[in-house]
Amino acid sequence: MPYSLAMQTLIQNIRNIPKAELHMHIEGSLEPELIFALAKRNQVALPYASVEALRAAYAFTNLQSFLDIYYAGASVLLHEQDFYDMAMAYFERAHADNVIHTEIFFDPQTHTERGVAMNEVINGLHRACLDAKAKWDINALLILCFLRHLSEESALETLEAARPYRDKLIGVGLDSSEVGHPPEKFSRVFAMSRDLGLRVVAHAGEEGPPAYIWQALDDLKVERIDHGVRCLEDPALVARLAKERIPLTVCPLSNLKLCVTPDLRQHPLKKMLNAGLCATINSDDPAYFGGYMNANWEATFAALDLTMEDAVTLARNSFEAAFVDEATRTGYLAKLDAAF
Ligand code: HPA
Ligand code: ZN
């Protein structure tokens, strides 16, 4: 259905708002064309005959059905240059969507388990972050994610392997298969990460229950919750998240594609904003879920009939939730004010 004239005008305006993206897995920005180009460059065999065949496989029923294909796609990444090229392709898209600050998740265990050294991963991504600043004036930070389907021992080894690159990281996170892998499984590695001065976030309440959000807050002491949409099932949890202004990095097109919500018109974002939560919009795995930052904003605004006021709130929330010093935050908020 075509958008109303008013919605078309609103969408035009929200495209130009400066924003921060706080929930984006860089391996999830690998477009099929780049997967095939890297497979050729690195002589990696793919179980798909063509770009079209790969794209046709992007019909997901839940988180795990996506993760299986996502890890297969990441198998083409071998060298520093591959990580650099992947990140630069994302930054170009982010810049086009007026993303001025982005905090990128990466999954080192997906690569080190295949024999790729940590330095190839982090140096490639870090070099791209520097070039994104120089080329597009994007502030890009790196968040190392532990894979929760693996053991805490493996996460501890990963933290140890990343220690020489501590200064290239802003924080750590927790991702992959949620149900059956509660946050409390990672209490020690998160405590060690906090001791290193790393900021801490975790995926919780995407497919997992509200109890996982409580655990992420109390056991891991996270500063933001990734997804967190299932918090609405627990009024006491909503009250706490609102009172403590814990940001939630919501990913609407991801929730739609992974069947967390049956229809964007039933997406919980509006209820989350109405409950006074510090919710933000993000793309999660944009190459797999049908769009980058502005595609997420546009589809969500149209489906939930959000307003310009909501847009300002969402952009403000993204800057409030960013891991930056207060002077940088003030600068971002001034840019937001200047956009009106
Ligand atoms: N959830 C959990 N793990 C992930 C996701 C997600 O949405 N994307 C990439 N890894
Ligand atoms: Zn995610």
Report the pLDDT value the prediction gives residue 289, as an integer from 0 to 100.
98
Amino acid code (one letter) for 12: Q
Nearest ligand 1 atom to alpha carbon 206:
1
Choose, from 206, 223, 244, 309, the residue flagged as catalytic. 206
Among 206, 229, 230, 249, name the best residue to mutate to test ligand 1's pocket (greatest count of ligand atoms within 8 A of Cβ): 206
Atom 7 of ligand 1: nearest residue by CA position: 284
326 is catalytic: no
Ligand 2 centroid to residue 174 C-alpha, Å:
9
Ligand 2 centroid to residue 9 C-alpha, Å:
30
Ligand 2 centroid to residue 24 C-alpha, Å:
6
Among 144, 285, 288, 289, name the best residue to mutate to test ligand 1's pocket (greatest count of ligand atoms within 8 A of Cβ): 285
Ligand positioned closest to the Cα atom of 288: 1
Report the pLDDT value the prediction gives residue 1, as an integer from 0 to 100.
63
What does each C-alpha distance from 282 to 41, 106, 167, 181 come to in angstroms? 31, 15, 25, 23
Question: Is domain 5-338 classified as CATH 3.20.20.140?
Answer: yes
Q: Is the dihedral of CA 74, 183, 266, 275 positive or negative?
A: negative
Neighbours of ion ligand 2 (CB under 5 A): 284
Tell me, yes or no, if the pTM score tops 0.75: yes
Ligand 2 centroid to residue 25 C-alpha, Å:
6
Q: Which residues line ligand 1 (CB under 6 A)?
A: 25, 28, 63, 70, 175-176, 203, 206, 254, 284-285
Q: Which two tokens stand for residue 23?
A: 């929930």
Atom 4 of ligand 1: nearest residue by CA position: 176
Order the strands of the 171-175 sheet from edge to edge: 19-25, 99-106, 139-147, 171-175, 199-204, 224-227, 248-250, 279-281
Q: What is the pLDDT along the chain (340 residues), one digit of tens a residue?
A: 688 999 999 999 999 999 999 999 999 999 999 999 999 999 999 999 999 999 999 999 999 999 999 999 999 999 999 999 999 999 999 999 999 999 999 999 999 999 999 999 999 999 999 999 999 999 999 999 999 999 999 999 999 999 999 999 999 999 999 999 999 999 999 999 999 999 999 999 999 999 999 999 999 999 999 999 999 999 999 999 999 999 999 999 999 999 999 999 999 999 999 999 999 999 999 999 999 999 999 999 999 999 999 999 999 999 999 999 999 999 999 999 999 8
Ligand positioned closest to the Cα atom of 282: 2
